[in-house]
Structures are given as C-alpha cells and as structure tokens.
Amino acid sequence: MFNGMKTTAMCQRTAAMAAGLLVGLGGAAYSVAADAPSIGDLQVKYRQAMYTVMAGNFAPLGAMAAGKAPFDAKEAQKRADRVAFVSNMLNEGFPPGSDKGKGTRAKPEIWTNRAEFDRLMQDLQKQTAALAAAAKTGDEAKFKPAAAAAGKACKTCHDKFKTED
C-alpha cells in the first residue's frame, strides 16, 4: 500500500516532469523556429555577401580611376580580377522566392522583369571582364575608362533594380 502510493506519487511526479520537459522543449523548438531565418532570408544574406565582396574590391578601383589613390597596376589587376569573377556569381543570388528575404533592397521587378535584369547583369559581366583585361595591360590610360564603364554598369542596375540606400 505504502509502496503503491509511493510509486503512484513518483509516477505522477515523473509524468509532471516529463510534461514540463516537453512543454519546455516544445517552447524552445517553437522559439527557435520563430527566430530562425527563412530560406529567403538566407538567400538574401548570401546575395548581400557577394555584393559586399564586389564593393570591397571595386572601392580601390574607383579610387584609382578617380585619381583619389595613385594608380597601382598590380593592385588594380588583383581587384579587377575579383570583381570580374564575382560578377559571374551574382545571378545565383536571385533565385525565385528570394524577393522576400529580410533586409533586401532588391526590387520585386527583378523577378517580374527578369530579361531586363539579366541584360544589365550580362553588361556588368562584360564590362568587368573588359576592366580585368585593361588592368592586366598595366596601362593607366586603358584602366581608367574601363573602370568608369564598369562603375556605370553597377549604377545602371542599381538605379533600376535597387531601392535607395
């Protein structure tokens, strides 16, 4: 009888603990799920990371092209190669559904007017390839207009498909 009561009490306590644990875990699982980035959020993060690499490498090129930094042929070639390389990856940053990710400044028109977006992206790829080729010559006179043209390709697409900074 005593043992039986004890067992019952223990069972109840164990059951209560288990229930508490489940509620706790359930709550934790719920809050993790609520805070977890969506696939769209992650796609936006990846996209923005690529553009951060683009900007980080284009900045010294822009400075050299504008005469704000001395022309350094080796540096120009290194940065231009990177910009040209990453420009060929950017398309992967705009899969269907990634129009809705957290913090994006990409306009919905990218997904509704894809042909125009693709055209501007191809122009960027062409201009950055030309910039890399110009930088490779080591000739500042060839580098400067090529950098200006690549910067213009960036800006043309931003003006059309990116919301204001």
SS3 36: coil
Q: How far is the CB of 54 from ligand ASC (least distance, A)?
A: 7
Cβ-Cβ contacts under 8 Å for 103 (sequence gap 6 or more):
41, 44, 48
Q: How far is the CB of 33 from ligand ASC (least distance, A)?
A: 35
User: CB-wise, 58 or 143, nearer to ligand ASC?
Assistant: 58
User: CB-wise, 142 or 158, nearer to ligand ASC?
Assistant: 158
Angle between helix axes 73-87 and 114-137 (nearest 10 degrees) is 160
Radius of gyration of the chain (CA): 27
User: CB-wise, 73 or 148, nearer to ligand ASC?
Assistant: 148
Q: How far is the CB of 154 from ligand ASC (least distance, A)?
A: 4
Q: Which residues contribute to the site for ligand ASC (CB under 6 A)?
A: 55, 58-59, 62, 151, 154-155, 158
d(CA 156, CA 159): 5
- Beta bridge partners, 71, equal none
Q: How far is the CB of 42 from ligand ASC (least distance, A)?
A: 23
